[in-house]
Structure 1
């Protein structure tokens, strides 16, 4: 195994180190979310109180993605990734204190650290890929981005299962200590193997460069905001409550379905290049984003229709949406890496993922309000509207007739 690793190219070695970091972090991130939800529910916290525990986690995602790109260019992506890993270790240890200290402000602060850590890690991983692949190999770039993005979401779903299993087998505190120890080892290895000054700009980086000057990046960022708001406006709050109230499912059944959905979603993301024409040598562009958004816009309407039939049709509709959304998401992830400037790549990608986080936050807030006042059907109709807006904005993205070899 060591010999095989030694024979790999320097770029591929760095890609594997970054991917391993990202996988380890994602596994703990998914497990931590499930641990917090289940454990604090056992302690008697209401659903609203549990939701508030994640408020700072989502909010700081917006702030971190905006500032994280600037930090990546200033310090280097290796440092921002390692800072993210270490912050997650600290967040896990903060939650491993005795129950008397687990008051809401303390837990919210720990979740805020975890949210900052997650987005530093994600921004660093996505930005670094741009530096390892030549601009003349867009097919390879698309494949690497799709694998990294898809595997992350698959492992997040696995993390949901892991969190529930660890809570049952060894308890909340021991689970956190185990994950902190594992991630600390990963952090130590990353310090040794990750290339120094990765993505760092030699010149002084001005604070105003946080905001992208690229029209393509700005347009794609707004489209991304509406795309992710279209998912979370019904998925985050409305769907779990609907499944529990309408079908009478318990928390384990609802959590299991959502975990399977995320694993399926991540698997389709990894295969997205094959769905969008890689075998024929086609590379996605603005036109691709419009066409796939048009296909996705029909999915929430089909889910609305399925509400009037058996539950298995409704669930099939959820997975149809998940598959189409995964392709749209993976396609967007490729486009941002493609559009980003090689020098200061983290600035463009950080700005883009700030829009992504803002879309998640808006979708989450709307999900609860619309569902309480108007129901799941209204959430799904708003989802279709948001997807249509994302597709309309994508009309202004660059188009090309680029073809590449089947690499």
Structure 2
């Protein structure tokens, strides 16, 4: 097999494994929400089931990059898939054993698995693309990231369909079987040394990053904090309580938004018009400021008494397009900035900031909405995006691939 063909073959394998994992991740979330609602759990109790899923994301992204640099990206990818299979098996028991602490423990495993898999898949692309081929790196990262989010939305639909057709236990076992097949293929076909650092990094190096990595990580924290400040809690609660939407209608809207958001991410190189010469700092600042203005306009429209449903649906669509382009540029730049030897250390640190941003946004979404309402959440989101754009000014104008 020639080098270019082998590279494409390995990229397809990494992407396929990531797709299989993402489908089970989205389906599992929907299965847990719907099934435990059927069992009579309160919304607060259901939300608590995902607490460890998010918390362990911060820890996993930080330590997973260090682990991958020592043992190889393929090993951490395999470990992530194996942990997801274990989490699915843990939940495929009689409902009498599905207590809140037990399910939280299973979700903790799933959260660790998700972030190990994501870090491994995205870091692997750095190792498969020559340093001079930045256009190809941008396109491949955009496709991987965009397809992941689209498939997560599809996973929401599959989870609901599997629950109706197979029941909770058998749906989980079917998902575990599919993921086990993907794991077997990965074990057999991916190179064993992929992403393994030539040196053994010390644990203290987790926090020793270059200035571009630190700045980009900070912007990622504010960017994803901005999204979740109005999207995670405030929006679905407002749609149900203020507009009278049913649960299924809210879920369908959010699933379709995620699918569309992923599609735009995959098309970002065409949208930015820079597939051959990928975007850098100036593009990130420009797209960030454009995104910051949108939630301000939505908040003013709601305050002025414009039709709330139309405002939110149109605003959500526009926000998804602008946010997807911002996120895609971010995802490319972290791979471009990362060191070739030990790429997982930099990528893991960056996605730790991403997980911290999600936690921050989720907390702000609940607190601000409860005391000040949805328009205040939108204004807070605008402030966070503006902070991300201003921090981007500190990034180098050109990419600094290692």
TM-score bracket for the superposition, by shorter chain length: over 0.9
Once the 2 structures are TM-superposed, how far is the Cα of residue 6 of structure 1 from its aligned partner? 9.2
Q: Quick check: 1:128 aligned with 2:140?
A: no
| Structure 2 residue aligned with 1:386 | 384
Once the 2 structures are TM-superposed, how far is the Cα of residue 230 of structure 1 from its aligned partner? 0.2
Once the 2 structures are TM-superposed, how far is the Cα of residue 294 of structure 1 from its aligned partner? 0.5
Once the 2 structures are TM-superposed, how far is the Cα of residue 257 of structure 1 from its aligned partner? 0.2
Q: Quick check: 1:41 aligned with 2:10?
A: no
| Structure 2 residue aligned with 1:405 | none
| Structure 2 residue aligned with 1:211 | 207
Structure-to-structure mapping, 1:287-298, within 5 angstroms: 287-298=282-293
- Distance in 2 between residues matched to 1:6 and 1:342, nearest whole Å: 22
* Residue from 9, 12, 22 that aligns with 2:8: 12
| Structure 1 residue aligned with 2:259 | 263
In structure 2, relative to structure 1, the CA distance for the partners of 1:131 and 1:6 (3 Å cut) is closer
Q: Quick check: 1:185 aligned with 2:181?
A: yes
1:26-68 Cα offsets, whole Å, 9 max, x none, are 0000000011011111111111101100000000000000000
- SS of the aligned residue for 1:229 comes to helix
Q: Is the 8 A contact 1:276 1:282 kept in 2?
A: no
Q: Is the 8 A contact 2:79 2:113 kept in 1?
A: yes
**Could you state the TM-score of these two structures normalised by the residue count of structure 2?**
0.96
* Residue from 279, 283, 298 that aligns with 2:278: 283
1:64-100 Cα offsets, whole Å, 9 max, x none, are 0000000110110000000000000000010110000
Q: Is the 8 A contact 1:15 1:129 kept in 2?
A: yes
Q: Is the 8 A contact 1:272 1:330 kept in 2?
A: yes
1:238-287 Cα offsets, whole Å, 9 max, x none, are 111011111211111000000000000000000111111226x4421111
Q: Quick check: 1:162 aligned with 2:142?
A: no
* Residue from 99, 102, 114 that aligns with 2:110: 114
Structure-to-structure mapping, 1:25-36, within 5 angstroms: 25-36=21-32
- Distance in 1 between residues matched to 2:247 and 2:2, nearest whole Å: 46
Structure 1, 241-250 or 260-269: larger mean CA deviation:
241-250
- Distance in 1 between residues matched to 2:186 and 2:200, nearest whole Å: 26
- Distance in 1 between residues matched to 2:342 and 2:3, nearest whole Å: 30
* Residue from 299, 302, 305 that aligns with 2:297: 302
Q: Is the 8 A contact 1:212 1:347 kept in 2?
A: no
Structure 1, 205-214 or 126-135: larger mean CA deviation:
205-214
1:132-180 Cα offsets, whole Å, 9 max, x none, are 1111111100000000000000000000111111111111111101101
Structure 1 unaligned blocks of 5 or more: 403-407
Name the count of aligned residue pairs: 397
- SS of the aligned residue for 2:11 comes to helix
The CA RMSD over aligned residues, in Å, is 1.5
Once the 2 structures are TM-superposed, how far is the Cα of residue 7 of structure 1 from its aligned partner? 10
- Distance in 1 between residues matched to 2:306 and 2:147, nearest whole Å: 33
Q: Is the 8 A contact 2:333 2:399 kept in 1?
A: no
Q: Quick check: 1:70 aligned with 2:66?
A: yes
**Could you state the TM-score of these two structures normalised by the residue count of structure 1?**
0.95
